[in-house]
Amino acid sequence: MTPLEKLIRELIVSEGPLPLDRYMSLCLGHPEHGYYMARNPFGETGDFVTAPEVSQIFGELIGVWCIAAWTAMGQPSTFHLVELGPGRGTLMKDMLRTARRAAPQFAEAALLHLVETSPVLRQMQREMLGVDAIWHDRLADVPEGPLIVIANEFFDAIPIRQFEKRDDRWHERVVGLKDDGLVLGLIAADLGPQGAEGDIVEFAPARSAIAREIGERLSRQPGASLIIDYGHLASALGDTLQAMRRHGFVSILESPGHCDLTSHVDFEALGKALTDGGAAAMPGLTQRGFLLAMGLEQRTAMLAAKSDARTRAMLERQMTRLAGESQMGNLFKVLAAVSPGLATPYPFGRS
Ligand code: SAH
């Protein structure tokens, strides 16, 4: 039994079953035993690989997008460049390298803010970036001002709640105890009359609150935001909560604190929260559509032209991994929002 499972069992005994958002936030963010708090989960030896860890081109193209957004903002001489959940810091490193080369004034103007709760990952980011940055626990702590907010595979780690229709009424899915083991259970909940027997819906109030806050900031000052994650462009029914360990799926109740726990992101709900906050949110794109429009093939060809056969084959594999239809290309989606009145950022369209 993991130390966190022991704590969770005690909590259930004293307080009753835990809604999934409470369980998820303990598993990921418990200050001592939470998944992200004490480990580096990335890479072949970790539990999963993210797009910036697949290829440097991912961060380079997002850097290009940010430079264009800053230009559309009127090239403010200082602005907050905010990343939510920077992981190892690879995406930011690749973005800044591109910016220093392609738009030195952008790099000069950017004040770096990293929103990161994990002390271990903060330290890795500090070493990776080797530049001045300010770390925050929450977006709310970033000072006011023009800003660009980026987030890759951040929202999937923010907790969700699930509701299930059983015996003609809605129940919340919770983690309880049975025969001295963790089990999933149902507790009656008020959720209105709609739905068919067996339906499962997911709500992520904590995700919507962050997206709304981004929207509010964009409504107060010039800015833009780019959110990338796996998920669906239109809200859909179904259980997408998943636990991952060493690149394979495991039960969400297995080894609490030792497995990554995420769910697919509902981009329709995120877009609505951004709009509610006062930003103009564009209809989302697939990662494939976004990266190809941003020049993934051209950048791959440029790097390939300077490389030997082995590196060329690797670049080809990386491109397929990021944009291939059956790989990350269609599963991952990209959402953009800008301040009202700013031009629609390429390659997005207005709805
Ligand atoms: N963007 C990175 C890492 C994705 S993993 C990449 O693409 O490689 C999720 C990241 O979000 C980690 O850095 C994790 O520590 C951070 N994180 C998770 N929950 C968080 C929270 N509630 N507040 C701030 N950061 C969080």
Would you state the torsion angle of the CA atoms of residues 282, 286, 290, 293, taken in this order, to the nearest 10 degrees?
-110
Q: How many angstroms separate the alpha carbon of residue 14 from the centre of ligand 1?
A: 30
Ligand 1: which of 94, 149, 150, 154 to mutate, judged by most atoms within 8 Å of the beta carbon? 154
Give the residue whose CA is nearest to atom 6 of ligand 1: 87
User: Residues in the chain, how many?
Assistant: 351
- Residue 281 CA to residue 340 CA, distance in Å, equals 9
Bridge partner list, 188: 171
Mean pLDDT of 54-76: 98
How would residue 348 be classed by pLDDT, with cut points 50, 70 and 90? Answer: very high
**Residue (of 301, 166, 160, 298) closest to 239 by Cα position:** 160
pLDDT for the residue numbered 331: 98
Closest residue CA from atom 24 of ligand 1: 116
- Mean local confidence (pLDDT), 197-205: 97
Which sign, positive or negative, has the C-alpha torsion 273, 279, 75, 139?
A: negative
Q: What is the pLDDT of residue 191?
A: 87
What is the amino acid identity at position 294?
M
CATH of domain 35-160+204-288+323-338: 3.40.50.150
User: Residue whose CA is closest, atom 22 of ligand 1?
Assistant: 158
Ligand 1: does its nearest atom lie under 6 Å from the Cβ of 85? yes
Lowest mean pLDDT among 42-46, 134-138, 194-198, 322-326: 42-46
pLDDT in tens, 266-296: 999 999 999 999 999 999 999 999 999 999 9
- Residue 56 to residue 77: CA distance in whole angstroms: 27
Is 333:267 a contact under the CB 8 Å cutoff?
Answer: yes
Nearest partner of 149 among 218, 247, 238, judged by Cα? 218
The predicted pLDDT at position 351 comes to: 62
User: Given a cut of 80, is residue 193 above it in pLDDT?
Assistant: no
Question: Of 150, 290, 152, 158, nearest to 230 (Cα)?
Answer: 152
Q: Which residue type sits at 149?
A: V
For position 39, what pLDDT does the model report? Answer: 85
23-49 residues labelled b (16+ CB within 10 A) or e (exposed)? bbbbbbbbeebbbbbebbbbeeebbbe
What are the residue ranges of helices labelled H in the chain? Answer: 3-15, 20-29, 51-54, 56-72, 90-102, 104-109, 119-129, 205-220, 267-277, 287-294, 296-305, 309-323, 330-331
β-pairing, 332-338 vs 280-281, is antiparallel
Find the 85 Cα to ligand 1 centroid distance in Å: 3
Distance in angstroms between the alpha carbons of the first and the last residue of the chain? 50
25 lines ligand 1 (CB under 6 A): no
pLDDT tens digits, 106-150: 999 999 999 999 999 999 999 999 878 999 999 999 999 999 999
pLDDT tens per residue, range 79-94: 999 999 999 999 999 9
pLDDT over 90 at 33, yes or no: yes
pLDDT digits (tens, 9 = 90+) for 161-190: 999 999 999 999 999 999 889 999 999 999
pTM of the model: 0.97
Residue 347, preceding peptide bond in cis (omega within 30° of 0): yes
Q: Is the pLDDT of residue 241 over 70?
A: yes
Question: Is the shortest distance between the CB of 107 and ligand 1 below 6 Å?
Answer: no
Name every residue whose Cβ is closer than 8 Å to that of residue 349 and which is 6 or more positions away in sequence.
Answer: 282, 283
Amino acid at residue number 115? V
Q: What is the per-residue pLDDT for 109?
A: 98
**What is the spatial distance between Cα 330 and Cα 289, in angstroms, rounded to a whole number?**
8
Q: What is the pLDDT of residue 350?
A: 72
